[in-house]
């Protein structure tokens, strides 16, 4: 359908639209008009993505004189694929109505691992080996060598891409990763470098958060993005954690051992060069004297991960004299590694500010702050000079240099913590030195500064006033939409008691109580016998899940569950989990029905949808609090309290409840869908916990469902499922429309209902 | 079997001296059919094979013409003269084959069709149906072979079964059991530490399917390197070690015994299969790709010990297998279904059949193009918003209920549970409507449909729901209500033989009644004859029912008579109707020779 929002004609690829989507678009348009940032919360299952895409592309189509680029950030690759697929539907629709002028180029960008088509390279098992494998074939010196010596293999795809030079362009269209690969294969061009190249010209770029937020990646990928871009962070409820993780490093024993090995390898290389060709080392020295920060004019294939610190914080000056010579730099690194391993030999937990840590490095190892700061770039330069291609072997020393650069660059917002062992298993010594960032606004600040509009959106951004504080920005629009439903198609329940009427909870003192474990098992067992198709069950942690499944297995509950549905489990192994999920979906598709056991903060909870028959019921077992004794968490809480006046308890509850809401919130995809959510812990019945849930869930949580036992929940589930199986009128009753057609939209366009009450 | 029938030109002679009638001889597994070329000539022959006892034939090279002499059980004989010896041989072989099956044949259903020409395919289908369904076969034997019903009549009520499309689809594979194989619990004799595992071919097939490494080991070790017994002993020893969750002990044992190590190690075939499969997963859940894009979590980057990340102990990783892995693998295998369809008798055969089927499927392995198309399909299915656009139907396996009785019995248990908490008691639905009322309401609804068109949905959901509830509640409820506790049915408590007899009588009475009532009103003499036949057959059942009642122990007699009562009632009603109509008929016979009722 096609309709007007003020001066913009919006092309929307479906025949109907939800009123929420319409008001969402209006808010979005205001943001774009104001050239400011915004924060929008809209429940899952209301078609956020398509509303976003269709407004922003239509907006830029309506203003051909000032083309606008859309940078769409997703958390995961599968979300990226999904977004691109939706964009494709939209693009086809726009072309149908507007003709060739609606053509845009939209690409997804991912790592070599996901884009490479060279069969020998992509066969490597992990990302780092693929990266290294690619470098071995495409590094500038390797290619130079290959010109002289035909025995040196290069990558045919990259060579023909280079040969095509400026002719190597992607024709307009929407390319998912898979299509990009297919295109590359067909043309014989390397899809990865083609995509990297096309990013500058594309109208829409879809990639992962870190390509903007993590300075290591953003430094090489997102440098050239113009200011007139709209940046969208979808599913952004966890964005603060992403920002923090992007700037955090930890060093373990294994890291230091690996780094020592790396250093001796480097020193061998240096000796080799000294013996054969000293000119290269001298040339590097001269370059460093001139203060040339490497990475500037490098060939695209020689790019490595960039500096871990943010671009604004990197000094544009010459590398300090004491590390200009390769062997001197090596000595500095050796001393640093030695110092760090000395620090790891501690009996107690030590916490220090970066400033204090730098001071003690300086006094004990004789390395000053400025030197530390340049470590990463200096290492990068050295490795290029030494023509090292198997970069995957050098990750350890790279970690050490990341750490040095970060600790040397930032004085506040960070802390260094040394823990001799994990508190949960005190008998296993596993010392770790962590540099953890507490201030989420650091990593995202350059993004807010650089780009005209940044849109942060998700299904759960409650409380919506907290995010501007955490990320330190001023949105021009900040709104939370509720959902207008045709029928009550979501059914949240709080289960506080098991079938024996005793309370259930994953509180630390209760979680291993056999009665509680049995009650949870009984709950699931009853539910699998009445709920059709898919059921998802979230646990608070892997260890708790393992424990409870083993107990259920021993007591025979698991066997009984299997009588009704197949059981699939998330493990820490990604391949295994992916296959389990795939099988889970197949089992739901074919009508066999299945249960999926997952972990609230695990990878599955982070972005897999359990909509329609893939999830008719989600059970959240327990409240997914973080491990509150973690030193890093405590340090972060302290920082939040001092800087933003956010109370510890409030933050912890907020964090736990947003996780829980995320887990259960993915059951519905549209208003025609339906699903139940069970919060199985007595603590959910308390107002201070419950009220942190997003309003669209709260508004469906009836008072009668706040304090249920298993049998009552079972009864409600039966009634709900019966009700949902009946046919209904999809457009809603006349006074409250939940689905708008073209005509109704035109009426709206007259301005009669511009301020809708959603 | 090579062919299911033979057709040859031949001459049919009643005696050796007879010059013979030229015609076509057609033999199928069931019968011999001779049709003369000249339709007027007598000598048409239609004999069922079961009456044929033996055959004689002339030898090639002797100066006699190629004759085949079939003798029947009344010592009569049919002589056919063929055009040449090769025709004779073919027919001879065919007859030989059919006669060789004679032993089976007597058990096998035989189909006679006096007034209907059936194609061989249809015949086969009928035979297949009878073979698959023993109950049907029993009924067929009881009624058709005894002449109560004709073949056509019998099948006329089962047109649906004969529908070829349906019968093609209904072949349903039996899947694996839901229970995990690790649930095989050993039995102990209580005195010694010895444990005994009971392995069935079924279990072995499942072990092989879930653990390809064990399968491979079996194929290569047994029987050359070790006996099957030692193989399984080792296997269970490994399982036992695994169950103790002591990976150090497992590692130690594995170091000593390399064959044992095979069972303890991670399954390498599975790992490589996983790599293959991962390429075809739905792109909307491909977390592996995600990991490949994640540069924040380089080793040691990000927050390491934050509380939500957990540690794995990496010691003796090689010999560690988690329960979750087992469960996932099991579910995947159950979902894939059983690839092998052999009679499970011999372990070796099972292992080889599985290997073959695997080979086949890997040879078949789809091309890259198919994979990417399939992935794109799944992707687009996941992105469309369903109520903003037309619906998308998933390919579903049609529901095939093999035994409706089982289905309703299980539904009964459910219905009982729901009725407990849903509706205290179903409202008594008004049944006694007068003809006028029925007519009136029908007219009313027709005229409203005429005026307004069909409503969507046609039946109100609440009404439909109520009807279904009432139905499931009442179907097979006597079986439960008579019993003392609702979970256990009365039938299960009867002796097996009585139970089967009762059920059989029920079905045969139903069959008879179906035909009986379908014959009214009697318009032809054929129907008249049929009703008479049916009536006789029905009256024969009474004494049999009495016999059953008498045979059960006295404490069950009451329950049996409760079960028998509805049968009596149904039969009584039919016979009453029969008698009433007979009286009418004899009263009217003068005026209406055709016998309208």
Confidence at residue A462, expressed as pLDDT on a 0 to 100 scale: 77
Helix axes A395-409, A253-276, angle to 10 degrees: 100
Whether B289 sits inside 8 A of A626 (CB atoms) is no
Closest CA in chain A for residue B323 = A550
pLDDT < 70 positions in chain A: 291-305, 312-317, 731-736, 748-758
- The bridge status of strand A414-421 relative to strand A350-352 is antiparallel
Q: What is the nearest CA distance from A705 to chain B, expressed in angstroms?
A: 17
Window from A44-48, B31-35, B275-279, B430-434 with minimum mean pLDDT: B430-434
Whether A77 sits inside 8 A of B289 (CB atoms) is yes
**CATH class, range B6-103:** mainly beta
pLDDT digits (tens, 9 = 90+) for B338-393: 766 655 566 777 777 777 777 776 665 555 666 777 777 777 766 666 666 655 55
A736 CA to centre of own chain = 37
- Please list the residues that pair with B284 across neighbouring strands: none
- What band does B312 get if pLDDT is binned at 50, 70 and 90? very low
| Three-state secondary structure readout of A565-622 | CEEEECCCCHHHHHHHHHHHHHHHHCCCCEEEEEECCCCCCCCCCCCHHHCCEEEEEC
- On the question of pLDDT at B572 being above 80, the answer is yes
Confidence at residue A539, expressed as pLDDT on a 0 to 100 scale: 93
Looking at A347-439, list the stretches that DSSP marks H as alpha helix, in order from N- to C-terminal side: 354-365, 369-385, 395-409
CB of A242 within 8 A of CB of B296?
Answer: yes
Question: Which residues, numbered 154 to 183 in chain A, qualify as contacts with chain B under a Cβ-Cβ cut-off of 8 Å?
Answer: 176-178, 182
Confidence at residue B111, expressed as pLDDT on a 0 to 100 scale: 45
Q: Name residue, tokens 């992990």.
A: A126
Whether A127 sits inside 8 A of B306 (CB atoms) is no
- What band does B426 get if pLDDT is binned at 50, 70 and 90? very low
Measured CA to CA, the distance from residue B490 to residue B482 in angstroms comes to 7
Q: Does A392 touch chain B (CB under 8 A)?
A: no
Which chain A residues are Cβ-neighbours of B290 within 8 angstroms? 76-78, 574, 603
* Cβ count near B147 (within 10 Å): 10
Which chain A residues are Cβ-neighbours of B285 within 8 angstroms? 78, 578, 581-582, 585, 608
Measured CA to CA, the distance from residue B335 to residue B397 in angstroms comes to 13
- What band does B112 get if pLDDT is binned at 50, 70 and 90? very low
pLDDT digits (tens, 9 = 90+) for B192-206: 667 777 777 778 888
Whether B179 sits inside 8 A of A562 (CB atoms) is yes
Which chain A residues are Cβ-neighbours of B294 within 8 angstroms? 127, 208, 210
CB of B172 within 8 A of CB of B402?
Answer: yes
Q: What length is written for chain A? A: 758
Token pair for A745:
């939209």
Rounded to an integer, the average pLDDT of B287-298 is 74
Measured CA to CA, the distance from residue B394 to residue A161 in angstroms comes to 41
Q: How many CA atoms lie within 13 A of B533 on its CB side?
A: 17
Token pair for A522:
């009984």
Whether A77 sits inside 8 A of B306 (CB atoms) is no
Which chain B residues are Cβ-neighbours of A553 within 8 angstroms? 323
Whether B322 sits inside 8 A of A571 (CB atoms) is yes
Closest CA in chain B for residue A209 = B294
Measured CA to CA, the distance from residue A324 to residue A287 in angstroms comes to 9
CB of A120 within 8 A of CB of A155?
Answer: no
Question: Which residue, B136, B216, B206, is CA-closest to B178?
Answer: B206
Which chain B residues are Cβ-neighbours of A246 within 8 angstroms? 296, 302
- Please list the residues that pair with A419 across neighbouring strands: A432
Closest CA in chain A for residue B464 = A726
Three-state DSSP class for residue A311: helix
Confidence at residue A299, expressed as pLDDT on a 0 to 100 scale: 66
Whether B277 sits inside 8 A of A178 (CB atoms) is no
Q: What is the nearest CA distance from B252 to chain A, expressed in angstroms?
A: 22
Confidence at residue B415, expressed as pLDDT on a 0 to 100 scale: 57
Token pair for B509:
């009475």
Whether A81 sits inside 8 A of B286 (CB atoms) is yes
Closest CA in chain B for residue A742 = B388
Measured CA to CA, the distance from residue A633 to residue A447 in angstroms comes to 25
- Smallest Cβ–Cβ distance between A575 and the set B278, B298, B323 belongs to B278
Q: Which helix (H) or strand (E) holds A455?
A: strand A453-458
CB crowding B357-376: b at 16 or more within 10 Å, else e: bbeeeeeeeeeeeeebeebb
Q: Which domains does chain A have, with CATH numbers?
A: 247-439 (no CATH), 490-725 (3.40.50.300)
CB of A114 within 8 A of CB of B289?
Answer: yes
Whether B305 sits inside 8 A of A47 (CB atoms) is no
Whether A248 sits inside 8 A of B418 (CB atoms) is no
Q: Which helix (H) or strand (E) holds B138?
A: helix B134-143
Which chain B residues are Cβ-neighbours of A578 within 8 angstroms? 278, 281, 285-288
Q: What is the pTM of this model?
A: 0.76
Q: What is the nearest CA distance from A77 to chain B, expressed in angstroms?
A: 5
- What band does B61 get if pLDDT is binned at 50, 70 and 90? low
Helix axes B368-383, A77-98, angle to 10 degrees: 80
CB of A516 within 8 A of CB of A77?
Answer: no
Measured CA to CA, the distance from residue B502 to residue B494 in angstroms comes to 10
């Amino acid at each position: 359908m096609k309709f007007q929002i003020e001066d913009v004609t919006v092309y929307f690829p479906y025949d109907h639209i939800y009123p929420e989507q319409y008001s969402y678009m209006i808010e979005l348009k205001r943001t774009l008009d104001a050239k400011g940032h915004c924060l929008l919360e809209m429940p899952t299952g209301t078609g956020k993505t398509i509303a976003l895409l269709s407004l922003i592309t239509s907006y830029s189509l309506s203003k051909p004189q000032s083309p606008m680029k859309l940078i769409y950030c997703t958390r995961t690759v599968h979300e990226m694929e999904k977004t691109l697929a939706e964009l494709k539907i939209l693009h086809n629709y726009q072309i149908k109505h507007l003709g060739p002028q609606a053509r845009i180029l939209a690409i997804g960008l991912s790592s070599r691992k996901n884009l490479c088509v060279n069969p020998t390279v992509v066969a490597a098992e992990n990302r780092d080996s693929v990266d290294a494998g690619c470098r071995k074939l495409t590094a500038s010196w390797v290619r130079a060598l290959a010109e002289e010596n035909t025995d040196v293999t290069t990558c045919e795809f990259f060579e023909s891409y280079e040969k095509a030079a400026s002719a190597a362009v992607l024709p307009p269209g929407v390319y998912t990763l898979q299509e990009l690969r297919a295109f590359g294969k067909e043309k014989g061009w390397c899809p990865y470098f083609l995509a990297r190249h096309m990013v500058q010209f594309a109208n829409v770029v879809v990639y992962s958060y870190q390509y903007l937020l993590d300075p290591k990646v953003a430094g090489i990928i997102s440098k050239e993005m113009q200011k007139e871009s709209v940046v969208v962070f979808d599913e952004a409820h966890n964005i603060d954690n992403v920002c923090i993780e992007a700037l955090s490093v930890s060093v373990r024993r294994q890291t230091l051992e690996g780094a020592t090995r790396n250093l001796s390898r480097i020193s061998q290389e240096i000796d080799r060069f000294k013996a054969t060709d000293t000119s290269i080392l001298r040339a590097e020295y001269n370059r460093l004297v001139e203060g040339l920060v490497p990475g500037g004019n490098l060939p695209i294939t020689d790019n490595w991960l960039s500096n871990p610190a943010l671009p604004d914080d990197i000094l544009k000056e010459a590398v300090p004299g004491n590390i200009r010579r390769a062997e001197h730099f090596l000595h500095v690194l050796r001393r640093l590694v030695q110092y760090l391993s000395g620090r790891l030999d501690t009996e107690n937990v030590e916490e220090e500010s970066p400033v204090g840590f730098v001071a003690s490095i300086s006094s004990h190892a004789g390395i000053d702050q400025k030197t530390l700061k340049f470590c990463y770039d200096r290492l990068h330069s050295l490795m290029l000079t030494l023509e090292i291609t198997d970069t995957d072997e050098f990750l350890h020393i790279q970690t050490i240099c990341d750490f040095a650069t970060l600790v040397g660059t930032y004085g506040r917002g960070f802390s260094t913590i040394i823990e001799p062992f994990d508190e949960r298993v005190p008998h296993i010594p596993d010392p770790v030195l962590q540099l953890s960032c507490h201030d989420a606004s650091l990593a995202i600040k350059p993004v807010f500064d650089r780009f005209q509009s940044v849109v942060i959106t998700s299904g759960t951004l409650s409380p919506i006033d907290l995010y501007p504080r955490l990320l330190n920005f001023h949105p021009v629009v900040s709104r939370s939409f509720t959902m207008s439903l045709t029928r009550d198609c979501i059914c949240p329940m709080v289960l506080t008691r098991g079938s024996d009427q005793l309370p259930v909870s994953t509180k630390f003192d209760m979680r291993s109580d056999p009665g509680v474990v049995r009650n949870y098992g009984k709950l699931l067992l009853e539910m699998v016998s009445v709920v059709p198709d898919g059921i998802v069950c979230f646990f608070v942690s892997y260890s708790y899940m393992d424990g409870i499944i083993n107990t259920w297995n021993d007591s025979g509950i698991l066997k009984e569950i299997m009588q009704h549905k197949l059981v699939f489990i998330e493990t820490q192994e990604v391949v295994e989990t992916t296959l389990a999920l795939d099988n889970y979906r197949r089992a739901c598709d074919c009508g066999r029905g299945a249960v999926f056991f997952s972990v609230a903060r695990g990878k599955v909870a982070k972005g897999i949808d359990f909509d329609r028959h893939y999830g008719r019921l989600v059970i959240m077992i327990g409240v997914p609090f973080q491990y509150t004794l973690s030193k890093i968490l405590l340090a972060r809480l302290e920082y939040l309290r001092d800087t933003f006046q956010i109370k510890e308890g409030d933050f912890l509850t907020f964090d736990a409840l947003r996780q829980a809401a995320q887990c259960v919130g993915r059951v519905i995809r549209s208003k025609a869908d339906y699903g139940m959510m069970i919060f199985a812990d007595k603590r959910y019945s308390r107002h201070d916990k419950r009220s942190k849930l997003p309003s669209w869930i709260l508004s469906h949580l009836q008072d009668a469902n706040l304090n249920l036992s298993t049998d009552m929940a079972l009864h409600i589930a039966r009634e709900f499922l019966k009700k949902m199986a009946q046919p209904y009128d999809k457009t809603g009753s006349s006074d409250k429309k939940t689905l708008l057609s073209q005509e109704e939209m035109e009426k709206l366009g007259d301005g009669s209902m511009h301020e809708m009450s959603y | 079997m090579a062919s299911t029938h033979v057709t040859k030109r031949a001459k049919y002679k009643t005696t050796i001296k007879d010059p013979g009638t030229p015609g076509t001889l057609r033999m199928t597994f069931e019968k011999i059919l001779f049709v003369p070329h000249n339709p007027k000539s007598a000598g048409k022959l239609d004999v069922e094979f079961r009456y044929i006892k033996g055959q004689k034939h002339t030898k090639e090279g002797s100066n006699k013409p190629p004759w085949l002499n079939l003798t029947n059980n009344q010592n009569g004989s049919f002589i056919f003269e063929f055009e040449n010896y090769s025709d004779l041989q073919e027919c001879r072989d065919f007859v030989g084959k059919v006669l060789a099956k004679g032993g089976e044949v007597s058990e096998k259903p035989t189909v006679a069709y006096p007034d209907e020409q059936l194609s061989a395919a249809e015949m086969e289908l009928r035979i297949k149906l009878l073979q698959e369904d023993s109950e049907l076969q029993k009924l067929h034997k009881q009624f058709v072979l005894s002449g109560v019903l004709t073949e056509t009549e019998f099948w006329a009520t089962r047109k649906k079964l004969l529908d070829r499309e349906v019968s093609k689809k209904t072949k349903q594979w039996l899947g694996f059991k839901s229970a995990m194989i690790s649930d095989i619990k050993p039995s102990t004799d209580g005195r010694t530490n010895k444990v005994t595992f009971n392995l069935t071919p079924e279990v072995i097939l499942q072990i092989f399917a879930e653990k390809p490494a064990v399968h491979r080991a079996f194929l290569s070790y047994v029987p050359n390197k070790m006996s099957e017994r030692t193989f399984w002993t080792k296997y269970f020893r490994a399982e036992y070690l695994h169950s103790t969750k002591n990976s150090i002990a497992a590692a130690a044992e594995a170091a000593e015994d390399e064959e044992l190590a095979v069972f303890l190690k991670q399954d390498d075939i599975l790992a490589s299969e996983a790599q293959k499969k991962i390429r075809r997963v739905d792109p909307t859940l491909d977390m592996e790709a995600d990991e490949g894009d994640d540069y924040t979590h380089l080793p040691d980057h990000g927050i390491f010990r934050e509380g939500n990340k957990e540690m794995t102990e990496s010691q003796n990783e090689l010999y560690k297998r988690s329960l979750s892995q087992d469960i996932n693998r099991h579910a995947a295998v159950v979902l894939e279904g059983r690839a092998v369809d052999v009679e499970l008798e011999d372990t070796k055969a099972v292992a080889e059949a599985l290997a073959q089927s695997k080979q086949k499927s890997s040879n078949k392995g789809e091309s890259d193009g198919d994979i990417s198309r399939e992935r794109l399909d799944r992707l687009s299915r996941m992105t469309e918003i369903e109520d903003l656009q037309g619906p998308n139907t998933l390919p579903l396996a049609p529901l095939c209920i093999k035994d409706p009785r089982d289905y309703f019995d299980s539904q009964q248990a459910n219905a009982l549970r729901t009725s407990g908490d849903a509706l205290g008691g179903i409202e008594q639905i008004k049944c006694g409507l007068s003809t006028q009322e029925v007519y009136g309401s029908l007219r009313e609804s027709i005229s409203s449909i005429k005026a307004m068109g069909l409503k969507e949905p046609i039946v109100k959901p609440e009404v439909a729901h109520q009807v279904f509830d009432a139905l499931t509640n009442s179907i097979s409820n006597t079986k439960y209500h008579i019993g003392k506790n609702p979970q256990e049915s009365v039938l299960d408590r009867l002796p097996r033989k009585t139970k089967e007899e009762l059920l059989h009588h029920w079905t045969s009475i139903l069959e008879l009644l179906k035909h009986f009532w379908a014959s009214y009103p009697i318009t032809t003499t054929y129907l008249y004859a049929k009703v008479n036949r049916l009536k006789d057959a029905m009256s024969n059942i009474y004494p049999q029912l009495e016999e059953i009642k008498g045979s059960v122990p006295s404490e069950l007699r009451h329950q049996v008579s409760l079960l028998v009562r509805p049968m009596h009632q149904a039969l009584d009603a039919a016979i009453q109707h029969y008698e009433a109509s007979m009286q009418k008929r004899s009263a009217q016979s003068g005026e209406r020779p055709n016998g309208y009722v």
